[in-house]
């Protein structure tokens, strides 16, 4: 079975024109197709939506946005949103909606993994920007504005007019308007773990850069999706050395909830962790390299629904990474049935009994980038 699935990986990449170089062969890694001008709706539908192929569009597609010149400045957003309360997501390490260790309930002194969600706090926008710029994992606090509930047209409505309400060529090709338009503001410390979304995604960077690792849906098995108990961070207020401090503590959800999530960390922090990851998840580390794509200020990435993506970021001159994304509801067609069949298959990957059916599907749509 593993051999057949590996052949599927190679064939699907060839059909998409994306190549299948090995993980260590970065020089041969395929690029996402790039367009110097926005495509026509027909070309976009034919060449990208229908086959499920990503597309990177140059800054020509957003040059007319007021946000392109206003948002990267040091003060515009802070002035425009000075009296606006926003939702700020807080974690100790910049990894919200990701796996984290917690004490094992049946083995004192040992740990296991859980799916950890951020602590969300309502603050005024200037405070949010100050906390984002001051984020520091060594101090145990990283802030990220990532509300994902159509927030640009909600709590950030005062600046929503600085960008297009929708992406015209995408809306015409997809036959609908976006279900949600979100604003993302963070810095280099925020990382989004591998996941997929039930949306066709148009992702636009306004300041800084976003760095994507991409895997097509046919490579589902490589991410070792497993069931994890849900947890969330809660805030504890402390006074230390005369200063008021916020400390985050991980608590398991009650009643318990299970979340299927990718087990793979593609960027381990140390050689020892890389060795452990490679031994535990050989289908990822011995497979074709993920498709890498950096989206720079003004550029937009079309990410087809069900594509797995891991996202890191670099701030712009204003110390922030700012992006807008448009979520268009996906079409649940026969390709979705094929995907569900594929993920039901069991693969013996020789990883010390860690293979098995890759259960479940995260039906919560608004989970991450």
Hey, where are the domains in the chain?
1-87+122-228+263-344
Q: Show the tokens assigned to 311.
A: 């996202």
Average pLDDT score over the chain:
91
Quick one: pLDDT band at residue 96, thresholds 50, 70, 90? very high
Which pLDDT score is estimated for 245? 79
pLDDT above 60 for 356:
no
Given a cut of 70, whether residue 125 has pLDDT beyond it is: yes
pLDDT at res. 240 = 61
> Which long-range contacts link 134-140 to residues 24+ away (Cβ below 8 Å)?
135/94, 135/186, 135/187, 135/189, 135/190, 136/189, 137/92, 137/93, 137/94, 137/189, 140/92, 140/93, 140/247, 140/248
Share of the chain above pLDDT 70, in %: 90
23 confidence band (pLDDT: 50, 70, 90): low
Full-model pTM: 0.91
The answer to whether the beta carbons of residues 201 and 326 sit under 8 Å apart is: yes
CATH number belonging to the domain at 1-87+122-228+263-344, selected among 2.40.30.30, 1.10.760.10, 2.60.120.10, 3.90.1560.10:
2.60.120.10
Count of helix runs (H) and strand runs (E) in the chain: 9, 18
Tell which residue, 274, 319, 156, 290, has the closest CA to residue 222. 290
122-131, 140-149, 202-211, 235-244: least confident range: 235-244
Query: What are the backbone dihedrals phi and psi of residue 244, each rounded to the nearest 5 degrees, phi first?
Result: -80, 125
pLDDT tens readout for residues 257-273: 999 999 999 999 899 99
Partners of 205 in beta bridges: 323
Say yes or no to pLDDT of 361 above 80. no
Which residues 6+ apart lie within 8 Å of 252 measured at CB? 102, 114, 229, 230, 231
Largest CA distance in the chain: 63
pLDDT of residue 225: 96
Q: Report, as an integer, the average pLDDT of 289-303.
A: 97
Return the pLDDT at 246: 87
């Amino acid at each position: 079975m593993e051999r057949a699935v590996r052949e599927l990986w190679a064939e699907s990449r060839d059909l998409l024109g994306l190549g299948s170089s090995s993980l260590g062969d970065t020089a041969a890694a395929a690029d996402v197709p790039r367009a110097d001008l926005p495509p026509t709706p027909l070309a976009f539908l034919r060449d990208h939506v229908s086959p499920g192929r990503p597309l990177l569009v140059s800054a020509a597609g957003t040059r007319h946005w007021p946000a392109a010149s206003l948002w990267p400045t040091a003060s515009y957003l802070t002035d425009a949103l000075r009296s606006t309360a926003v939702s700020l997501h807080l974690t100790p390490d910049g990894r919200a909606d990701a796996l984290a260790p917690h004490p094992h309930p049946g083995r004192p002194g040992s740990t296991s993994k859980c799916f950890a969600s951020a602590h969300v706090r309502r603050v005024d926008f200037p405070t949010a920007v100050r906390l984002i710029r001051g984020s520091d994992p060594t101090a145990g606090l990283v802030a990220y504005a990532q509300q994902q509930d159509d927030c640009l047209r909600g709590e950030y409505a005062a600046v929503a007019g600085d960008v297009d309400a929708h992406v015209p060529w995408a809306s015409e090709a997809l036959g609908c308007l976006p279900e949600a338009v979100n604003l993302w503001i963070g810095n280099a410390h925020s990382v989004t773990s591998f996941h997929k979304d039930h949306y066709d995604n148009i992702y636009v960077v306004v300041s800084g850069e976003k760095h994507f690792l991409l895997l097509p849906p046919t490579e589902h098995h490589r991410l070792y999706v497993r069931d994890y108990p849900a947890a969330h961070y809660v805030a504890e207020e402390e006074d230390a050395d005369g200063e008021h401090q916020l400390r985050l503590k991980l608590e398991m959800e009650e009643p318990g909830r299970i979340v299927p999530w990718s087990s793979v960390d593609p960027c381990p922090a140390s050689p020892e962790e890389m060795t452990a990851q490679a031994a535990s998840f050989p289908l990822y580390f011995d497979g074709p390299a993920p498709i890498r794509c950096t989206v720079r200020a003004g550029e937009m990435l079309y990410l087809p629904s069900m594509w797995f993506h891991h996202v890191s970021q670099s701030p712009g001159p204003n110390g922030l990474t700012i992006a807008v994304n448009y979520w268009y509801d996906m079409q649940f067609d026969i390709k979705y049935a094929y995907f569900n069949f594929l993920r039901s298959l069991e693969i013996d990957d020789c990883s010390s009994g860690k293979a098995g059916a890759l259960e479940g599907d995260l039906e919560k749509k608004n989970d991450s980038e």
